[in-house]
A = this chain, B = another copy of it.
Amino acid sequence: MSVPKFAQIKEFILENIQSGEWQENDRVPSENELTSQFQVSRMTARRALSELTDAGILTRSQGQGTFVASFKSQSSLLEIKNIADEVKARNSNYSCTILVMESISAIAPIAIALGVEVDSHVYRSVIVHNENEQPLQVEERFVNPALAKDYLQQDFHSLTPHEYLSQTAPLTEARHTVEAIMPNQEMCEWLNLYNEEPCLQVIRRTWSTQGIVSFARLVSPGSKYRLGGHLTFKK
């Protein structure tokens, strides 16, 4: 069987939506109607509807029927990729410089972000990620020692901190914020910026089941780095 039947039904439905034939909130054929239209079993028709529902393209309501989801509910998403992979994908040379690896006493904002007590010890690393030997991103990371006690012993030339942490403490959640900032003088030096320029800053906090694992600040010059996102309608 070249194209599975359930996939043919999915295509049929998607074509009707994309052509504008079926508008937002319109009703789509029920499982039984598709069953007789396509001469398949109800379970096969159901599979097509269920998968499109999981993909956010349809909504279903027991007793009422299945409907075209409103586009509004389809959020536009941006992807934050691993910087090392991204550089390698561009066929550029990736390298990194480790500036700081230390254990420090947590001041209030850092302690709060990590969910530990003020003045307790936390690990801090500062790494510059380079593309073709030019600084592309500074990663300043604070790590909860309880959840990654060997953090300072790692060699982050071969494995990024994010990769190490997700192996050590299984990650269950991550939160990000993105903002535009003006770098301070220290950051300008790290990034080799002679003229001040706006930077994109991503704050990432990661959780495991045992608590907050780490808190990272990723800063890139606006002229060299941007985030990309892509949303397609069909699966």
Partner of A175, one of B81, B163, B173, B229: B229
For window 54-101 of A, CB contacts with B under 8 Å fall at: 54, 71-72, 75-82
A82 to B75, CA, bound (A): 9
A232 to B174, CA, bound (A): 7
Residue of B nearest to A204 (CB): B76
CB distance from A234 to the nearest CB of B (A): 7
What residues of chain B lie closer than 8 Å to A229, measured between beta carbons?
Answer: 78, 80, 175-178
A75 to B24, CA, bound (A): 28
Q: Chain A interface residue count: which class?
A: 35 or more
**Do A167 and B24 contact each other (CB < 8 Å), given the known contacts A19-B209, A54-B54, A222-B181?**
yes
Complex copy number for this chain: 2
Residue of B nearest to A173 (CB): B232
CB distance from A19 to the nearest CB of B (A): 7
Partner of A171, one of B172, B227, B233: B233
A225 to B209, CA, bound (A): 31
Would you list the 5 A-B pairs with minimal beta carbon distance, nearest first?
Answer: A198-B198, A180-B222, A78-B78, A180-B180, A176-B229
Residues of chain A whose beta carbon lies under 8 Å from any beta carbon of chain B = 17-20, 23-24, 51, 54, 71-72, 75-82, 163, 166-167, 169-182, 197-201, 204, 209, 222, 225-234
Question: Can you name 26 A-B pairs with beta carbons within 8 Å?
Answer: A18-B170, A19-B170, A20-B169, A23-B170, A71-B170, A77-B78, A77-B80, A78-B78, A78-B227, A80-B229, A172-B232, A172-B234, A173-B233, A175-B228, A176-B229, A176-B231, A178-B178, A178-B200, A178-B228, A178-B229, A179-B226, A180-B201, A181-B222, A182-B222, A198-B198, A200-B200
